[in-house]
């Protein structure tokens, strides 16, 4: 197992999911991403948990957060939340199962599964022009 291969495969999949103006594995705060640089997507590694069961290979749960930024100045008159919804939908589409019958996304066979899991945090820009979503992704692989 190569951590870098896994994280790179995930990033490539997410990067291809939408016509981002900015995408990176180095997180920037939305206030540091100009409106013209949005929509933007950032992938961060947030932790790993090793699970050991007697007489079985150890499993590794890898946690990732995907930060999505949308700004109304680049939304052609649409509300920031409207653009943000399309970005979240694109991430969901990118994480769709690629193994028929198993309903599993394997990142090209690198992992047992990778999926959106947990609460998606959103700020739809109610009091301003900036909308943000944070999408949690969990990856299971053999350690």
Mean pLDDT along residues 4-10: 97
42-46, 92-96, 105-109, 128-132: least confident range: 128-132
Quote the pLDDT of residue 90: 97
Q: What is the pLDDT of residues 23-67, one digit of tens each?
A: 999 999 999 999 899 999 999 999 999 988 888 888 999 999 999
**42 bridge partner residues:** 24, 67
CA 130 centroid distance within chain: 19
Region 19-26 average pLDDT = 97
> Are the C-beta atoms of 131 and 108 separated by less than 8 Å?
no
* CA–CA dist 42, 65 (Å, integer): 8
pTM of the complete model: 0.91
Residue 127 pLDDT grade (very low, low, confident, very high; cuts 50, 70, 90): low
Can you give the pLDDT at residue 10? Answer: 98
Cβ contact 137:120 at 8 Å = no
Query: Which residues, including other chains, have CB under 8 Å from residue 11's CB and lie 6 or more apart?
Result: 23, 25, 43
CATH of 3-142 among 3.50.50.60, 3.40.50.1220, 3.30.70.600, 3.30.70.1700: 3.30.70.1700
Torsion of CA 11, 15, 16, 22, to 10 degrees: -170
Q: What pLDDT score does 71 carry? A: 85
Evaluate if residue 6 carries a pLDDT over 70: yes
86 or 125: which leads in pLDDT: 86
Q: Cβ neighbours of residue 137 under 8 Å, at least 6 residues apart?
A: 10, 63, 64, 65, 66, 95, 114, 115, 116, 117
Q: Which residue has the tokens 């896994």?
A: 6
């Amino acid at each position: 197992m190569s951590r870098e291969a896994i994280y790179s495969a995930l990033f490539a999949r997410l990067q291809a999911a939408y016509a981002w103006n900015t995408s990176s594995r180095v997180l920037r705060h939305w206030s540091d991403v100009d409106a013209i640089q949005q929509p933007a997507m950032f992938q961060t590694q947030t932790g790993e948990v090793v699970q050991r069961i007697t007489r079985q290979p150890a499993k590794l749960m890898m946690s990732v957060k995907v930060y999505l930024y949308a700004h109304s100045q680049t939304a052609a008159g649409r509300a920031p939340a409207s653009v943000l919804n399309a970005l979240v939908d694109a991430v969901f589409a990118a994480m769709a199962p690629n193994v028929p019958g198993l309903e599993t996304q394997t990142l090209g066979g690198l992992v047992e599964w990778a999926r959106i899991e947990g609460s998606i945090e959103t700020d739809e820009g109610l009091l301003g022009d900036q909308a943000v979503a944070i999408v949690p992704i969990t990856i299971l692989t053999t350690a």
